[in-house]
Amino acid sequence: MIPENIRKIKISDFNFAFTDELIAQQPLINRDESKLLHYKNSIIHHRIFKEFPELLNSNSQIILNNAKVISARLFFYRDSGSKIEILLLEPHNSFNSLETALSNSQKSMWKCMIGNLKKWKKNEILKSKVGKIAVSAKLLDNINQTVEFTWDNNVSFSEIIELSGTTPLPPYIKREANENDKKTYQTIFAKNIGAVAAPTAGLHFTENILDKIKDKKIDIAEVTLYVSAGTFLPVKAEFPIDHSMHSEMISVSKNTISNLINNKYRVAIGTTSLRTLESLYWIGVKILKCEENPFYIEKLYPYNFYKLPISWNESMSEIINYLEKNSIDTVNAKTEIMIMPGYNFSSVNSLLTNFHYPNSTLVMLIAAFIGDNWHNLYHKAIENSYRFLSYGDCCLLDP
């Protein structure tokens, strides 16, 4: 039963004065020179990101999202010559087929977001050329926007999109992607290909920053949440519980989960890392309760519990036991977890994140993490000319 106070939350509760001039349209030349608003014990300090390693105590553990953005924006042409834009979202098949879908040769099926959809008829085949490779796209389902891609060569689909696709910059960046974006819209620790949006809190990191963190003997853990384009969808419902929350794939190795069993001061780098960790916790709860499909976390599942049923370490131990019992090395799961005020956090003590749109699920998450002070934090950020969204500045929240 979802508590009444959760049901009554309105998306308008997360509004603030906002103009498009706040949105960073270009990355900084030096990533680590972005502004950093440090919120600690309800006090705001203005810093730059180069100082981030100094703000971590020796008992800290930082958790990075190592998802790698693919060149997910593709262009195809009708026989008439008109152009159709296709944004890859996720493989058409089961949630754990991302690697397979990208490694496929000659054919791959994807759920997409399609520009000029009305002009593309069902089963109509569009053409494109990747060097000497002819690539076709057939619209199989115009309701779910499912597209089948085929090509006359043995190369993988990941090679096709790398050669022909462009960087899928967010819709609020009002310019065409360029060659520079292929590097700047990617974290330096990106490894696991498949995201169609960057885990943007990680964009501030440089090799020098990571070296300083390692020099302090601070533990670094890596998880993967393949950020989807759903992260940009506005909340149109008056009450967030009625919002159709996007789902995203997560992948975390058994070794990483073992490393997360500790009493360290855990710092999530980005809302995607935080969503991954919180989803992991509820997977452990589902395993303990012998629930069906423990590797899918529904958006409101956590609100069925008045308080956390088990500790963080107990939950991670449940997952490890399950993996070992079933000879599995990695948790592959899907989450649509929605975090809003009233949520009980289990996983982290601190969060590094960029600044987000008003009336969004991400501002709801910030409000859940630090309470009503989020209003003052955002007011101070705007007052001090912080840059917002993907290429913008960041804040470190130590409530």
CATH code where residue 284 lies: 3.40.1780.10
111 CB burial (10 A radius; 0-12, 13-18, 19+): middle
Distance CA 87, CA 73 (A): 5
Give residue 239's domain range. 4-68+183-398
| Number of domains present in the structure of the chain | 2
In this structure, are residues 64 and 89 in contact, taking their beta carbons and an 8 Å threshold? no
Q: Are residues 133 and 233 in the same domain?
A: no
Return the sign of the alpha-carbon dihedral for residues 316, 317, 323, 327: positive
Q: Which amino acid is at 240?
A: P
Confidence band of 246 (pLDDT split at 50, 70, 90): confident
Which pair of structure tokens corresponds to residue 36? 């950093």
Q: Are residues 302 and 340 in the same domain?
A: yes
In this structure, are residues 102 and 157 in contact, taking their beta carbons and an 8 Å threshold? yes
Residue whose pair of structure tokens reads 């899918």 in the numeric block:
296
Confidence band of 276 (pLDDT split at 50, 70, 90): very high
Bridge-based pairing of strands 125-130 and 107-114 is: unpaired
Closest residue by Cα to residue 172 from 387, 14, 394: 387
The pTM score is: 0.93
* Separation in Å, CA 136 to CA 88, 124, 245: 15, 10, 32
In this structure, are residues 198 and 173 in contact, taking their beta carbons and an 8 Å threshold? no
Q: Are residues 50 and 77 in the same domain?
A: no
Q: pLDDT digit string (tens) for 318-340?
A: 999 999 999 999 999 999 999 99
Segment 255-278 shows an average pLDDT of 98
CATH number at residue 117: 2.40.10.240
SS3 335: strand
Q: pLDDT digit string (tens) for 18-77?
A: 999 999 999 999 999 999 999 999 999 999 999 999 999 999 999 999 999 999 999 999
Q: Are residues 246 and 299 in the same domain?
A: yes
* Residues forming beta bridges with residue 138, ordered by sequence position: 125, 148
Q: Are residues 149 and 289 in the same domain?
A: no
Q: Are residues 251 and 362 in the same domain?
A: yes
Q: pLDDT digit string (tens) for 79-132?
A: 888 889 999 988 887 555 677 888 888 899 999 999 889 889 899 999 988 788
Which pair of structure tokens corresponds to residue 357? 């749109």
Residue 88 located in a structural domain = yes
| Residue 348 clears pLDDT 90, i.e. is over it | yes
363 CB burial (10 A radius; 0-12, 13-18, 19+): buried
Q: pLDDT digit string (tens) for 151-210?
A: 988 899 999 998 889 999 999 999 999 999 999 999 999 999 999 999 999 999 999 999
| Residue 342 clears pLDDT 70, i.e. is over it | yes
Spatial neighbors of 326 by CB under 8 A, at least 6 apart, are none
Q: Are residues 274 and 146 in the same domain?
A: no
Q: Are residues 228 and 359 in the same domain?
A: yes
SS3 339: coil
Q: Are residues 193 and 261 in the same domain?
A: yes
